């Protein structure tokens, strides 16, 4: 894994926390390490009442630093795409600011 990938994982964590605050919607970013030194980065924006997630992506980073889609959202294959999708969703769904 590269330093840039580590920074992207940290940025995804910050965005997931900001998502809940800025949109009022539950979101999380999970990082799972695997015995072969691979890592999965999972981002979900959760709907209420058991409906399917609004965003559900899992990207694998291999020990060699190769990024690929694991499941669910085949159009998102990299950490950068995961970050961009989350940031765009936040921007489109931000709560109105008090005036």
Q: Tens of pLDDT along 50-95? A: 676 788 889 999 988 999 988 766 678 899 999 999 999 999 988 8
Domain presence at residue 33 = yes
Q: Which long-range contacts (CB under 8 A, 24 or more apart) does 28-33 make?
A: 29/86
Predicted structure pTM score: 0.85
Sign for the CA dihedral angle at 68, 4, 42, 39 comes to: positive
Domain presence at residue 94 = no
Domain range enclosing 80: 3-87
Domain presence at residue 9 = yes
Domain presence at residue 8 = yes
Decide: 70 and 59 in contact? Cβ < 8 Å. Answer: yes
Coil, strand or helix at 71? strand
Domain presence at residue 92 = no
Domain presence at residue 98 = no
Domains contained in the chain, number: 1
Domain presence at residue 19 = yes
8 phi and psi angles, rounded to 5 deg? -65, -40
Model confidence at 37, pLDDT cuts 50, 70, 90, reads confident
Domain presence at residue 95 = no
Decide: 34 and 16 in contact? Cβ < 8 Å. Answer: no
């Amino acid at each position: 894994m590269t330093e840039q990938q580590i920074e992207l994982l940290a940025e995804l964590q910050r965005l997931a926390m900001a998502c809940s605050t800025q949109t009022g919607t539950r979101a999380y970013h999970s990082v799972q390490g695997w015995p072969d030194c691979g890592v999965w980065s999972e981002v979900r924006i959760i709907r209420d009442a058991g409906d399917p997630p609004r965003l559900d992506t899992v990207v694998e980073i291999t020990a060699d630093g190769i990024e690929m889609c694991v499941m669910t959202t085949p159009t998102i294959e990299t950490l950068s795409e995961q970050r961009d999708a989350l940031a765009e969703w936040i921007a489109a769904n931000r709560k109105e600011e008090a005036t």
